Structure 1
Amino acid sequence: MIIAIEGIDGAGKRTLVDGLLEPLQATSLAFPRYDESAAAQLAQAALHGEMGDMTDSAHAMAVVFALDRHGALPVLERYAGNPDETIILDRYCASNAAYTWARTGDAAAADWVAELEFNRLGLPKPDLQVLVATTPEVAGERAAKREADDAQRTRDRYERDRALQEATFAAYAALAHGSWASPWVSTTDSAVIIKAVHALR
């Protein structure tokens, strides 16, 4: 099974993923894969102002992030439709849908992302998506503290943009409400997620 943990920067996704690994006997994978993916590294460079005007195009950035996920397709295919093994993803395709929607102000961007990632690139749809429902205010404070505590965690262009984070949170909420691509739960409680996963099995 593929479980995607989604939310804005600083929402607490990584903490939640780590807390689910043992109860669900799962492995994990985080996107973007900055340590191993050329596409992710290009996106990271763009977000830190090193790729000219690349970040000005919401669609160009979405394509680069999608190509990063496509590079992990062999891994994802091992878990798709297999209830005996579980992978928990720290971000997946919905992050592209939410950020592209927020950046363009166009709800149709979510459909464009679905066509790009699931149809054109053949990525498997997740069995369950979780919106970590941390408010933009709290998430922003966490992201700023993380940056202050760790010199390696400098916030990028998206993370520093408070209005973008708020718009992305609203887009995520709409995606969850509309069950974009697959079922969703909106929570910060790992017990709720574990119960939802067991119900799907």
Structure 2
Amino acid sequence: MSYFVAIEGIDGSGKGTQTAALHEHFQQSGLRTSSITFPRYGETLIGRQIGRFLDGQFGELQHLHPIPISMMYAAERFESRELIFEKLNGSELLISDRYVGSNFAHQGARLKGTERAEFLEWIQKLEYEVFGVPRPNLVIVLDLPAEVSAERVAMKNARHYTEQVTDLYESDCDYLLGVREVYLELCEQ
């Protein structure tokens, strides 16, 4: 089984860029590497629904509780579990652009205090124990101020999962501040 690295951070922090750069660097160094990106919008049954969610088709973010949303993201990784193990078994290094940490940060940002702590513990049990997705050996969090994130997101190319300039998460700078806060808390732990 290979070494598993997950790259996390708020929108526009460079996760995709760094995933591709690391993948290319290690391949050129002779290491058998593989990569995966979550969500897998057009590739999985649940990924397509996540695209619809991020396009705002299920309602506004503040009207949707984090538990069903986190279950959708976790279920998409469960749907991709065989592929993750296949990539782990077929390479020496697997790099993931987003993983379970994104579920912690994006859904946890909507809760505070004890409720957030209990929720994060619940996600951990759901993803790693109930759904049995593998834990990464290393999680790299790319830190970026939310204001810079908004500028970078505005420069992104059109995405196939939304007709909007920004998706449901990217459009709310205060929300991204909360996501960054959770990522930094997780780094401390």
Q: How does 1:119-134 map to 2 (within 5 A)?
A: 119-134=129-144
User: Which of 156, 159, 169 is the equivalent residue of 2:167?
Assistant: 156
User: For residues 150 and 167 of structure 1, what CA distance do their matches in structure 2 show?
Assistant: 25
Tell me the percent identity. 31
1:104 match:
111
User: For residues 26 and 95 of structure 2, what CA distance do their matches in structure 1 show?
Assistant: 9
Deviation for aligned residue 1:86: 0.9
User: For residues 83 and 113 of structure 1, what CA distance do their matches in structure 2 show?
Assistant: 28
Distance 1:160 1:52, change over 3 A: closer
Tell me which of the two structures has the higher relative contact order, counting C-alpha pairs closer than 8 angstroms and 6 or more residues apart: 2
Amino acid at match of 2:38: F
Q: Deviations over 1:98-117 (max 9, x none)?
A: 11210122232211110110
Q: Say whether 1:56 aligns with 2:64.
A: yes
Contact 1:101 1:108 in 2 (8 A): no
User: Which of 166, 169, 188 is the equivalent residue of 1:177?
Assistant: 188
1:67 match:
75
User: For residues 118 and 109 of structure 1, what CA distance do their matches in structure 2 show?
Assistant: 14
Q: Say whether 1:136 aligns with 2:124.
A: no
2:30 match:
none
Unaligned runs of 5+ in 2: 28-32
Count of equivalent residues: 175
Query: TM-score scaled by structure 1?
Result: 0.80
Amino acid at match of 1:3: V
User: Which of 164, 168, 173 is the equivalent residue of 2:179?
Assistant: 168
Amino acid at match of 2:80: A
Q: What is the SS of the residue equivalent to 1:24? A: helix
Distance 1:43 1:150, change over 3 A: closer
Deviation for aligned residue 1:49: 2.3
Amino acid at match of 1:60: P
Amino acid at match of 2:122: W
Q: Deviations over 1:103-136 (max 9, x none)?
A: 1222322111101100110011001000011221
Unaligned runs of 5+ in 1: 179-201
Distance 1:111 1:83, change over 3 A: farther
2:126 match:
116
Root-mean-square deviation (Å): 2.1
